[in-house]
Every structure is written in structure tokens, then in C-alpha cells.
Structure 1
């Protein structure tokens, strides 16, 4: 295993299928762009930076992606999908709505704190990757809003708010802002501590519906 957690392909003859080789190369490129962007910032990263970290050739890079942005957006899509899975699995299906939301928030914050490179790349650097990247970021946030809204509407108090959908958008947007500020300041290890004030704010919103 290499330092990033991906297997280095063996030199010379091996028993891997072509599909396995291609999948490994792609994974390494996605992790390479994540780490390069986290270290240098999207604007300063070159294809050379990515292939150096991925340990593949320039030819291999262009077999997978047309340019740096295409690689970055593919990595963003992968990370967003993984985060959605983390949050959904943390919430689970048992318990009251607010208990499930609490678990979802805790899982989200833990995951970001455990991977500062990915957190910085996809919460801050995404906006440096152009209009298409910004649209992708808003689409991902919309998906998180839908997930959270589905959780909270199981609580009758949330459903009784004047505009529960708007309240959910404000809540998710506020969480994103708080998290981004911590990451920008290099305080990713303190992210789990946001759980308590986030839940306290959600409780205030519920109490307003009484």
C-alpha cells in the first residue's frame, strides 16, 4: 500500500485484468488531484502535480480525463457520493427524527475532521474551479437539503413550521458556512464540537413551531 491508501501496481508482469488496472489508475488520479489541490490550491495545480502524486504517466492521465478540471470534478462527484452515504448511514432508520438528524450531523462532522485534504478541496477549492464546478456544488448541497428535509419532516413540529423547506435550506446552509469557516482556518479537528450548537439551533426552530 502507498501512503494514500491505494495499492501501487506491481512492476512487470502481473495477474491483474485490464479493468482492474484502469480502476486502480482512476482511483489514484482522483486521490492525486484531491491531495494536490488541498496542498497548492486549485488554481496553482497542474496535471503534472496530479500525475506525480498518482504515480502514473501523462498518457495515462489523458486516457482517463480531458483536463485538470474534468479530473477534479470527477473526484468531487466521488467525494460527494461517499459523504452522502456516510450521512445516510449515520442517520439510520431507527429512532425519532431529531435523534437521526443528530447522528447524521455527528457522522458528517467526524468524516470531514478525519480527512482535512478532502474537506478543504471540496468545501473551499470547488469555487475556484469555474462556473461548472459551482453549479455542481449547489447541486450537491441541494441533495443534502433533500436528505435532511426528509429526516426532519418526520417530526411533526418541523412539518408545522410556516415553511419547513426554507427552514431546512437555511439550516443546511448555516452548517456548510460554519464548517467551511473552520476548515479555512485550519481548525478541522474542532469540527465535531459544532454538533452541540447545531442541535441547539435546530431545537430552537422546533420550539418556535409550538
Structure 2
């Protein structure tokens, strides 16, 4: 559970003297988490607004004050999932220091897997349920995957078209593997990808970029 969602669930009932902005933000966090968790159980199509409202513990009026429709709520939940994924990755990439190329790619790929495993409901929104919503959401997911490709290619110093294509293939394969595991609720399986994936990259040499075999 995210820190914001946990805070939202701890709001006291009745008169509490909290600023309206705090209450609205907490309600929004509860609704988004409820949307993600409900879809993890029943899928996008099988999740009515009523189920989200019940799980979030808010009124129908409160839901529609925040969101125009179920699709609008999903889009917001998807953006929250993206935020969680990218925040973790960008936090890692902004603090490399004097680490070697191997150490950097290990941290980024490992951080991505850890982020998915830590938030399985949001990971399902990000990886699985997006396909039930429509082309705009799928396009957004594709764009984010290319962002991750760019991060990997930059770390591995992929200078040629062939090396960049190899990076795209690596990320696409990783995406397919984690999507399958998240779809069946295999969080441990997501974490288990870490070592074989990193071993593959370590043994790749210059296939993906400038990574020496003995780095």
C-alpha cells in the first residue's frame, strides 16, 4: 500500500478539523486504490462503480465529485501507477555516483521489478487492465515503455541502431514476462526474474551497448 493510501485510511470519522484539501486528497487516494484492487480481483469490465465506492468507503456523490466516470477513474489510477513506477526508477537513476555500468543497470532493472512487486494492484492496472480500456491508454503504455527503453539504452551506451533494437527487445521481453506474472498474481515470480535477467545482461557484452563482459 502506498503511503498516501495508508494516510487516507487513517482519517478520523466525523468532525476532525482537517483542511478540505486534505480530505479531498485522502478520498481520492482511497478511491484510486480501491479501483486498482477491485480490478485486480475482477478486471476492468467486471468492476462497476458501486464496487469501487464500497471498497473505498465513500459515497456515490463523493466519487462523482472526483471523477466523471469509471473510465475517468481508471485513467487516474493508471497515472498513479505510472507515477509509482517512474518515481522509483528516476530516484535510482538520479543517484548513480561513480557506479559502473553493470551496477547501474542492475539497480534500474532491479528497481523496476521491486516497484511492480511492491504495488501489485497498481502493477496490474499498469500492465494488464490497460488493454481493456482502449487505444489511448495503450498508446500511453507504449510511450512509457519507450521511455524505459531510452533509460536502459542510455545506461548501456547503446550507440548503434542494432544496439538500440536489442535494448527494445530486452525491455519488450521483460514487459511480457512481468505482465504474465502480474496477471496471475505471482508477485514472487516477478522478483525471481531479477537474477536471470541481470545475468543475461552481464553476459551480453556489447550486444546492448558498451557493456564489457568483465565490467
Q: TM-score, normalised by structure 1?
A: 0.87
Shift of 1:78: 1.2
- Distance in 2 between the 1:142 and 1:207 partners? 20
State whether residues 96 and 104 of structure 2, in contact with CA within 8 Å, keep that contact through their aligned partners in structure 1: yes
User: What's 1:111 paired with?
Assistant: 115
Deviates more, 1:80-89 or 1:185-194: 185-194
User: What's 1:167 paired with?
Assistant: 166
- Distance in 2 between the 1:163 and 1:204 partners? 17
User: What's 2:57 paired with?
Assistant: 55
CA RMSD of aligned residues (A): 2.0
- Distance in 2 between the 1:14 and 1:195 partners? 45
Shift of 1:132: 2.0
Deviation string 1:49-104 (CA, Å, 9 cap, x unpaired) is: 11111111111111111111111111111111111111222343220122111011
List gaps (5 residues or longer) in structure 2.
none
List gaps (5 residues or longer) in structure 1.
none
Q: TM-score, normalised by structure 2?
A: 0.85
- Distance in 2 between the 1:12 and 1:183 partners? 38
State whether residues 116 and 188 of structure 1, in contact with CA within 8 Å, keep that contact through their aligned partners in structure 2: yes
User: What's 2:186 paired with?
Assistant: 187
Shift of 1:188: 1.5
User: What's 2:13 paired with?
Assistant: 11
User: What's 1:93 paired with?
Assistant: 96
- Distance in 2 between the 1:196 and 1:88 partners? 21
Shift of 1:17: 1.0
- The 1:207/1:28 distance shift into structure 2, 3 A limit, reads same
State whether residues 39 and 125 of structure 2, in contact with CA within 8 Å, keep that contact through their aligned partners in structure 1: yes
Paired residues in the alignment total: 202
Where 1:44 maps in the other structure, the secondary structure is coil
- Distance in 2 between the 1:174 and 1:165 partners? 14
Shift of 1:162: 4.6
State whether residues 113 and 190 of structure 1, in contact with CA within 8 Å, keep that contact through their aligned partners in structure 2: no
